[in-house]
Amino acid sequence: MKDFQKEFLDNRNIEKDMWRIFKIISDFTDAFDELETIPPAVSIFGSARVDENNIYYKKATKIAKKLSQKGYAIITGGGPGIMEAANKGADYSIGLNIKLPHEQKVNPYVKTKLEFNYFFTRKVTFIKYSVATVIMPGGFGTLDELSEVLTLIQTKKMSKIPVVFYGKEFFEPLLKFYKNMLKEKMIDEKDLELFLISDNIDEIVDYIYQNSIQP
């Protein structure tokens, strides 16, 4: 039997499925217990592949610092790059780490750490405890997270919260793609109002403060 066929059949094993259910419940109960009393929080997403010399790393630190000065907690994925930068700038710093085959190390600026077995339980936790989201430049994971948030707001499965893209030049191709979706009637014109694109940190912080639950 080919390896991929064996892996597919193994993944349908009922005993493994039952064990997964317990791991899913564990992810949620640990998160709910730990985060239920935190102040209003802003999730900051972005690339794990940039270092402290990168301009977006520096901007993420400044954004987190200014949001912290307003009283917000900062939630990231707890890893390196933009996540580290945001945790570095935060006063109340939370990291939602994901267990991977090649383990992702938690950055040293995380004060409250949680580890997740599954991406989807982690994303639910981000959404449950965030009153706003800042999307920094990143890769597939960042695109996944921003699409999740926009889809849930668009379909009214969650309340409308401020969603901000930092980096006009970086996100210009994505905005062009969204406009093409509109042209082809794949989305509505009002869907382009679900987010703000800005390079101005003060504008971003003010936008979040005026349009979200305030600490």
Instruction: Write down all domains in the chain, each with its CATH number in brackets.
Output: 3-211 (3.40.50.450)
What CA–CA distances, in Å, run from 181 to 140, 175, 185, 187?
19, 10, 6, 6
Q: pTM of this prediction?
A: 0.89
C-beta of residue 20 within 8 angstroms of C-beta of residue 28: no
Q: What is the pLDDT along the chain (215 residues), one digit of tens a residue?
A: 456 565 555 666 666 777 888 899 999 999 999 999 999 999 999 999 999 999 999 999 999 999 999 999 999 999 999 999 999 999 999 999 988 766 568 999 999 999 999 999 999 999 999 999 999 999 999 999 999 999 999 999 999 999 999 999 999 999 999 999 999 999 999 999 999 999 999 999 999 999 999 99
C-beta of residue 75 within 8 angstroms of C-beta of residue 130: yes
C-beta of residue 125 within 8 angstroms of C-beta of residue 96: yes
